[in-house]
Amino acid sequence: MTPAEMAAIHAAAFTRQRPWAEVEFVSLLDDRTTRVIEVDGGFGLLLVVAPEAEIITLAVNPAMQRRGTGRRIVEAMMQEARDAGAATVYLEVAAGNLPARALYAATGFEETGRRLHYYRFPDGGSDDAIVMARAIDGPVP
């Protein structure tokens, strides 16, 4: 998947957040700590600095949603994190992003914190970030 294709899926999937430009994906992919998970209709970017890993973004083309693609990407990222020696996978998600929060809850992530007004949107609004974590093995530390 090219950076341009990632930018297109990201822009279609995220309706409220500022879309990330192709050049931002180019620079993320250049970083040796970034790992890419590609599946038909979606992708995820994972940052691994063992023993921690972080989901940087995850997007599924709206026309392909609710078919298990997001779940497959999350599980592939967990496997990638394990292979890279990570013990815990973290992420931040906007409090109002109910589909993503449901996906992460369904895949075993637990809420570990909240950052108030973390996201500022182009429409002038803001939202809190929910911090979530899932241990590779056993309970969240």
Ligand X SMILES: CC(C)(COP(=O)(O)OP(=O)(O)OC[C@H]1O[C@@H](n2cnc3c(N)ncnc32)[C@H](O)[C@@H]1OP(=O)(O)O)[C@@H](O)C(=O)NCCC(=O)NCCS
Contacting positions for ligand X (CB under 6 A): 13-14, 58-60, 65-71, 93, 97, 99-100, 102-103, 106
Rounded Cα distance between 58 and 13, Å, is 9
**Other CB atoms closer than 10 Å to residue 71's CB: what's the count?**
13
Judge whether 104 counts as a catalytic residue. yes
The two tokens of residue 111 are: 């809420």
Residue from 104, 111, 118, 119 carrying the catalytic annotation: 104
Q: Minimal distance in Å, beta carbon 118 to ligand X?
A: 12
Residue number closest to ligand X, CB atom: 70
Q: Can you name the residues that pair with 60 across neighbouring β-strands?
A: 42
Please state, as a whole number, how many other Cβ atoms lie within 10 Å of the Cβ of residue 105. 12
Residue 1 burial (C-beta neighbours within 10 Å; 0-12, 13-18, 19+): middle
Which is closer to ligand X, CB of 38 or CB of 85? 38
The catalytically annotated residue of 5, 92, 111, 118 is: 92
Cβ 86 to ligand X, closest distance in Å?
Answer: 18
Nearest CB to ligand X, comparing residues 85 and 115:
115
CB of 87 to ligand X, least distance (A): 21
CA dist 98 and 127 (Å) reads 12
Active-site residue list: 92, 104
